[in-house]
């Protein structure tokens, strides 16, 4: 039987990523024992080298899981199935999975985790606001062009810090096992409206260019290769069809407060020098 959180070890898979880094930092700040797991950590965790997973997870009581490249990618279900088997065998007693809102492939992985025999919680998140400040679209600040295959669809962009706060809460508090929380921001915006906000906040002229799927695939393939291009194109085709336009209340359910909106997060990034 678990006693107090101070005697537990929290494992964070993807501890160098956007959410993983923040979750690990919050757990550290709360005085918890944290094992950061990534390709460059000791012990090492690499999704492509499952033989090392048992060593990485041995001694971990509660586990946060982020999968790279995406739960919708081919082979994700197989990897998640094997991970949960290793987690169960090494003594993990609670798991939290970061999932993608509206992704059918991700839903299949969610069911694997929930059916693993380990008490688990699903955190299904919308598109990160931080993608505009520290992600693939941050280059728009220099180029002046925000280009993606999203047409004029609205998205309730979510703050990664809100995601991390939710994950940390469901990892450390009881009563969330078997639950699935959808996390979004408070309002839905088009990418064009985000470009307008970026222009207003930075004083630079940033315009949104909605790309066709073939054009988007070609542009991504040139920089990241055809496999990544196909994955990202199909994700855009799936989640930017209007299914995710309505905000969800997962942040309110877990944290008891409203989520932060796009303007507040971008303004904070500007103050912190990340929109220079």
Domains and CATH numbers, the chain: 5-127+159-184+245-257 (3.40.50.720)
| Tens-place pLDDT, residues 44-53 | 999 999 999 9
SS3 assignment, position 37: strand
> Mean pLDDT for the chain?
95
Going by the DSSP 8-state scheme, the letter that residue 38 receives in this structure is S
Q: With bands split at pLDDT 50, 70 and 90, how would you rate the model's confidence at 169?
A: very high
Q: Rounded CA gap, 178 and 183, in Å?
A: 16
Rg (CA), the chain: 19
pTM for the model stands at 0.95
The closest alpha carbon to 71, from 24, 15, 16, 122, belongs to 122
| Tens-place pLDDT, residues 18-39 | 999 999 999 999 999 999 999 9
| Tens-place pLDDT, residues 83-124 | 999 999 999 999 999 999 999 999 999 999 999 999 999 999
pLDDT at 1: 36
The closest alpha carbon to 47, from 81, 19, 21, 89, belongs to 81
Both tokens of residue 50? 């499952």
- Cβ-defined contacts of 114-118 (< 8 Å, 24+): 114/178, 114/180, 116/84, 116/85, 116/87, 116/88, 117/84, 117/88, 118/84, 118/87, 118/88, 118/92, 118/93, 118/94
Phi, psi of 48, deg, nearest 5: -90, 0
Q: Which helix (H) or strand (E) holds 174?
A: none
pLDDT at 3: 40
pLDDT at 51: 97
Tell me what the mean pLDDT of segment 151-179 comes to: 98
Q: Which helix (H) or strand (E) holds 54?
A: helix 53-57
């Amino acid at each position: 039987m678990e006693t107090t959180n101070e005697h537990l070890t929290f494992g964070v898979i993807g501890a160098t990523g956007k959410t993983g880094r923040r979750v690990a930092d919050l757990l550290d700040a709360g005085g918890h024992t944290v094992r950061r797991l990534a390709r460059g950590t000791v012990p090492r965790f690499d999704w492509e080298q499952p033989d090392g997973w048992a060593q990485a997870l041995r001694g971990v009581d509660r586990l946060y899981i982020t999968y790279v490249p995406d739960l919708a990618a081919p082979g994700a279900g197989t990897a998640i199935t094997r991970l949960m088997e290793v987690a169960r065998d090494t003594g993990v007693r609670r798991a939290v999975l970061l999932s993608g809102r509206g992704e059918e492939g991700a839903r299949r992985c969610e069911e694997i985790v929930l059916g693993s025999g380990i008490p688990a919680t699903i955190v299904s998140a919308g598109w990160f606001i931080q993608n505009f400040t520290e992600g693939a679209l941050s280059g728009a600040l220099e180029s002046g062009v925000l280009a993606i295959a999203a047409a004029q669809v609205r998205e309730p962009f979510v703050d990664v810090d809100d995601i991390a706060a939710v994950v940390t809460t469901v990892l450390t508090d009881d009563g969330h096992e078997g639950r699935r929380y959808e996390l979004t921001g408070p309002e839905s915006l088009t990418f064009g409206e985000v470009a307008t906000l970026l222009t207003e906040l930075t004083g630079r002229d940033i315009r949104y260019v909605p790309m066709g799927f073939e054009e988007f695939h070609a542009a991504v393939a040139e920089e990241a290769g055809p496999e990544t291009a196909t994955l990202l194109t199909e994700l855009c085709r799936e989640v930017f069809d209007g299914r995710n336009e309505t905000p969800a209340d997962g942040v309110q359910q877990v944290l008891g407060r409203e989520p932060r909106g796009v303007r507040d997060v971008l303004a904070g990034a500007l103050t912190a020098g990340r929109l220079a």
